[in-house]
Chains A and B, each alone.
Chain A
Amino acid sequence: MIKTADELRRASVLFLKDVYKAYGPKVVLDNVDLAVRGGELCSLVGPSGCGKSTLFRLVLGEERPTSGEVSVGGKPVGFPSVDRGIVYQQYSLYPFLTVFDNVVFGRRLGHGILGSLGKSREFHDEAMFYIEAVKLAEHKDKFPHELSGGMQQRVALAQALIMKPKILLMDEPFGALDPGVREHLQVFLLELWERFEMTIFFVTHDLEEAVYVGTRILVLSQFYSDGRGNGAEVKRGSKIVFDRQLPRRAGATAVKDRAEFRALIQEIRQAGFDPHHLQHVTKFDLEHPDSFHDLTDEELKKGE
């Protein structure tokens, strides 16, 4: 570890240290450490049930960690608030509002009914700017149910963007879309990310998507071994077992067929998704410069 935790915390938009989360006897997150810098498009994958959504909820502030620290922008997270934007797979949009109203909603809510008086021109221009950025200007008066799934997710992006969050959290945002639309939106997201210099935390179960979209890939997995042994009394949860910087490629999705891309995916599959391939905690592939991992003595214990 090169930097101290304090330095990292200051340099990071999202910072987790020694985070544990247990539901009753079941440990889901087991001593997770993570620092994400501004401007990063950080994707998180892992086998199903590994705790991706749990981690996501901790960052969002819907739940508290059992112990450990979660901060955004240097401050411990509280309940969900404007510094964290969000795009869900479903239910991001309000069905009773048109596209325009959905996008402008955040500005209106933030100012209250009285505070919004006299601001409608300003709000309108701002909302239209983002609606144009997601290329939906001609659909602005439609209701969400009149749009395709891909268009709905673009509205959801505009809706979150208008708040200029410190970090945009995306939970399986393209999970419900057809493959073609999905690829299209991946490219689209990258364009927006570049244009607006966003920091994005992107959770998905699709490995290919994670590697394609991310500038950094994190793998959360319960398949590893450590000094605590394999006894029935050991309640092991998931850790980040793989953390690498990814080369930023030009938008084309053709890279997905390239050999190095496939090789990386194979590597990740083995590191995080194979229940029989148990890497020891000290051997994790944590090459990313911001990666750090404070192991407990228990976990480091030799033997067995």
Chain B
Amino acid sequence: MTQFIYGLLLYIFLMIPPIAALFESMMITHMHMQMPMLVISGFLMSGFLLRRSHRFFEKWNHNGIPGITLFMMIMIYWTIPRTMDEALTMQTMEIWKFMSLPFLAGMPLRDSWKKLTKAGKNIIIFIFTVKYFGMGALYIWSEESLCNNYLVIDQLTLGWGFITTAICLVIYLVYAFTVNPSEYE
């Protein structure tokens, strides 16, 4: 229950118009801070909700794969430049963003992550790594502005944000494959 409250507080905080406007004023904070925080708020809130609808998730998501697929689809959807643009210009898309990230990404992530095998988890991280390098390359090398609402420098910054995050993920994967936890735990 405390987790639910923290998640809800984070969610409300992110919704406050000046806060939302601050995050959305920069492309990188829009994609790499506001969106992940929305997912986290959903992740925190859903512990409580999942327990109430346990049956449903047991039936539809017993091995975690449907849930994680939904999570990936939502995450990839929101890295498309056009969707970011629309969230800024169309009220309904903004609402969709605030609904989909916590409840269609954060919540299934929570239900699925612990059900995945170790290999499954690493595959997901690997997919994100590849995608981040790809998106990074796209945003860095693209000559023209991909979003109506952001400048080319915003785009370049976001590109480097993708690359640096991808590097961190590579470090994690190297760690996961070289360090054998059973030697320590």
Query: Do chains A and B stick together as partners?
Result: no
